[in-house]
Chain A
Amino acid sequence: MMLLAVLSGFLLAVAVPALYRVAGKHIGWVLALLPALLTAYFVSLIPAVSGGETLLIRNQWMPGLGVSLDFMVDGLALVFALLISGIGTFILIYAGSYLQGHKDLGRFYVIMLSFMASMLGLVLSDNLITFFVFWELTSITSYMLIGFNHEDAEARKCALQGLFVTAGGGLVLMAGLILLIFITGSYSFSEILASDLAIHDHGYYTAAAVCILIGAFTKSAQVPFHFWLPNAMAAPTPVSAYLHSATMVKAGVYLLARLNSSMDGDALWSNSLMLFGAATMLTGAYLAFSSTGIKKVLAYSTVMALGTLTMLIGIGTEKAIIAFVCVLVAHSLYKGALFMLAGALDHETGTKDITKMGGLWRSMPRTAVITGLAALSLAGLPPLFGFVAKELMFESVINSPVWPWGLLTAAVASSILVVAVAGLVFLKPFFGPVRTTPKQPHDAPVAMLIGPAVLTLLALIFGVAPFVPAIFVLDATVSSVYGTGVTTALALWHGVNVPLMLSGASLLAGSLLFITWQRLHPKLYAVNTAASRFGPEAGYFRFMLGITQVASWQTRVLQNGVLGIYLLILVLVTFGLTGYTLFTRHGFQLDFDFSNGYFYEFGIALLIVAATVFASVTRSRLGSVASVGVLGFGVALIFIHFSAPDLGITQLLVETLTVILLVLVLFKLPPFVNLSSPWERYRDLSVAIFAGATMTLLMLAVLDIQYFDSISSYYIENSYGLAFGKNIVNVILVDFRQLDTLGEIFVLGLAAMGVYSMVKLRAEDQHKP
């Protein structure tokens, strides 16, 4: 059931093109049924999980490698699964309207559903390797969605940047996870969390922690990797709302929270989380305030929220974890809603620039009301859930065991900025003088408003009655992040205390900041432009430039286009190393024993040698191809003689087809010319003799040493018993080593594509003027 739930997105994705033909423009509503059903399914798991249970669902995948499709559902996983499927439902409906009539809408849904399935897999996986696979799948689907408008060069560039940063971080993360597997000896999150192993004392700990942190920081856009997220706004708005605010970018935070109860208690872990989290929070808040594109503003405020989440995990007290869970949920609700509303504004007015909008409340009243509520939650004002979350954040920062003053300054500064940002998002476009926009604005259609409305309503309900979500699922979430059972006592009103006063102060300061925005903005813009020359994004571009330079240098040196040189280097290196190992480990051995040979065996050997010599001395290409064919047939004869009919037949067929292919190629080659100097020919000859001699010695050595027991007897014994086949060669190919064969046919496919593109596409290019 769980397996089906996770993979259903992929299955539905396959069916999208067919469904699109039937459902037409209602496709969004039809596809949204799946996440709606999934939401219902995850809701049905709430009672068990909030009762303190951790559900483990086991499915085998590749048991030999320790990789399984095991799923673990605890509070943390469940809250994420609910967010993914719940928000996903509205996003799919929304996208149907936002991208209505787009020629690639079908493709959009294919990737979107695949992303949803990958994201669910990511948060539900119990196995570290499976987790990583889903992690990378989210990076790849994100890449395809950012670059959805693939005819736009800018979108392609941004997509590539997002991919490089997140997938590069993903590789580092893989190293970290493997180190973690070494440390704990377990592939499973649930076992690692349950064990009381002292992970910190292990020699690999520092390396593992650093790698995991880098992986999580790149995915969750922490400073200094934050720059890819605003650029990811090149994606259509439903993508920004779903991937780049509500779900995917939280994957890094999810991983940190997931591992927190095992890793925490170590200064390296928690201090870097606090440091980078606070820096990200402040940077995000500042950049949000100084941007003008509505999506950029929201993207930077997402960066800020991600920083807050990281910082709260770093603080790690019980209060901080409660705050973490509340900020997580509150942010997903209001940011998902705000992005969809921003898309609606863009869709209806034709501009993304908030300085070009004004007085829209008259023409878009419903959009205005919902945006207002969502912006209140963003600013952290009562009675929205964002307020509850922000108060908790202040409280846990004040009580932080380390650096309380530093963190508090950062937190207050960013909440001041965020109040101003909320003003930018709501007051700026909807109030003030009416401005003419590229399109005549009117209220967005139902499909585009239902999502934001429901999410904002939830934020309102959770704000007025915060104990409701707490009882159902948040308590369990806090417990699974914190490690021990926790009961939160969430309330909207805590009485007059320090956090409330801080909120009041930041509201006041934020409002002042908002009023001065108009004057402040040009200056900030100038500062940002100057700073961007030295920022991390500039570093990214320098790094990419360096890669291309190194690549072109090594292409010039190693791949200079002379095939003879490639071959020479390959042969020299391979046989040099093999010969060296053979000589040092084994020594040479020259005992030829021809006494048992039959005359026809000598005949075949002679044939092979003669064919080889002829192939290398003849000046006729056709002659040399034919004699290589003779050589192959000789080898086939040997196979058949030593009773390996399968190999023999294969060799014969392959030889025949190779000769045919070579003949086809021969027709295109220019006439034979002698280009190489005698010196070069002697060099090539000696390398060839060296390679041949090494190979001969190797074969002789192989015959009389055996480092491992032969595996053949296993195949012979079990071929019929286990695999019901009498032809052992075939049984090995298609059953015992099926994975290898599967890999091989994919290599065949790649080779076919390579040849096709070389022959075909190049020919087409030449025909073009």
Chain B
Amino acid sequence: MKTNTLILHTAALAIMPLQLMFSVFLLLRGHDEPGGGFIGGLVAASAFVLYAFAFGAESTRKLLRVSPRDILAAGLLFGLASTIPAFWTGQAMLTALWWEVPLPGEGYLKLSTVLIFDIGVYLAVLGTLMTFVISLMESDE
């Protein structure tokens, strides 16, 4: 399935990067403001879906570079990996660990196993939806 509308092509190229940036923004702010990995993943997926509607499944695959299933697998691995570090500090599995990295100037960077987990959720959601969409689109080509 591929559309030949000039408007959709142009709009997709303009909107998609914005959507992707917005999805990362949502992912990173998620712990304190509305957002998070799930919402971020959905936004990222809709960006790629838009692209897929404009340029077809094949070029979306090329754009993604890796198979959507690998994105999904990477998400699950991130999710699992985030539960492990607690073992090394002798705490129960899934205990969140936090690091605060000072930045130049005022402020600091909040890093945590929770963030790793949220990235995992983001990738898993993105991977799942892209698997759905791309396999459905390819099945009628």
Contacts and interface: CB of A to CB of B under 8 A. Distances in A.
Interface of A: 3, 59-64, 645-646, 649-650, 653-654, 656-657, 660-661, 664-665, 667-668, 723-727, 729-731, 733-735, 738-739, 741-742, 745-746, 748-749, 751-753, 755-756, 759-760, 763
5 contacts: A646-B35, A657-B129, A752-B72, A752-B131, A760-B135
Interface in B77-115: 79-80, 83, 87, 90-94, 96, 98, 110, 112, 114
B136 interface: yes
A661 B36 CA distance: 23
A649 B75 CA distance: 22
A653 B46 contact: yes
Given A725-B32, A755-B136, 20 more contacts: A60-B92, A646-B34, A646-B39, A660-B49, A668-B140, A724-B31, A726-B31, A727-B32, A727-B33, A727-B35, A729-B36, A733-B38, A734-B118, A738-B83, A738-B114, A742-B94, A745-B79, A751-B128, A752-B128, A759-B136
B4 interface: no
Give 4 closest A-B pairs by Cβ, nearest first.
A653-B42, A60-B92, A726-B32, A725-B31
A726 B37 CA distance: 15
B136 to A, nearest CB: 4
Contact of A746 (B76, B87, B90): B76
Contacts of B121: 733-734, 741, 745
Given A661-B132, A665-B136, A734 B114 contact: yes
A63 B112 contact: no
Given A734-B121, A760-B139, A723 B96 contact: yes
Contacts of B79: 741-742, 745
A597 B126 CA distance: 39
Interface in B52-86: 53, 68-69, 72-73, 75-76, 79-80, 83
A735 B112 CA distance: 11
B137 interface: yes
Report, as a range, how many residues of chain B touch the other chain: 35 or more
Nearest to B132: A755
Contacts of A749: 72-73, 75-76, 124, 127-128
B12 interface: no
Contacts of A724: 31, 98, 110, 112
Contacts of B136: 661, 664-665, 755, 759
A745 B139 contact: no
Decide if the interface of chain B is mainly helix, strand, loop or mixed. helix
A58 to B, nearest CB: 9
A661 B120 contact: no
A657 B49 contact: yes
Interface of B: 1, 30-39, 42-43, 45-46, 49, 53, 68-69, 72-73, 75-76, 79-80, 83, 87, 90-94, 96, 98, 110, 112, 114, 117-118, 120-121, 124-125, 127-129, 131-133, 135-140
Contacts of B90: 59-60
Given A657-B45, A661-B132, A749-B124, A61 B39 contact: no
Contacts of A756: 69, 131, 135
Given A664-B136, A738-B117, A727 B36 contact: yes
B133 A660 contact: yes
Contact of A733 (B36, B45, B83, B110): B36
A346 B136 CA distance: 51
B94 A657 contact: no
Contacts of B43: 653
B76 A745 contact: yes
Contact of A730 (B35, B76, B132): B35
Contacts of A660: 49, 53, 133
Contact of A731 (B31, B35, B72): B31
Contact of B36 (A734, A742, A760, A763): A734
Contacts of A667: 1, 140
B131 A755 contact: yes
Contacts of B39: 646, 649-650, 653
Contacts of B73: 749
B80 to A, nearest CB: 7
A195 to B, nearest CB: 25
Contacts of B33: 726-727
Contacts of A668: 139-140
A17 to B, nearest CB: 16
A500 B92 CA distance: 56
Contacts of B118: 730, 734
Contacts of B128: 748-749, 751-752
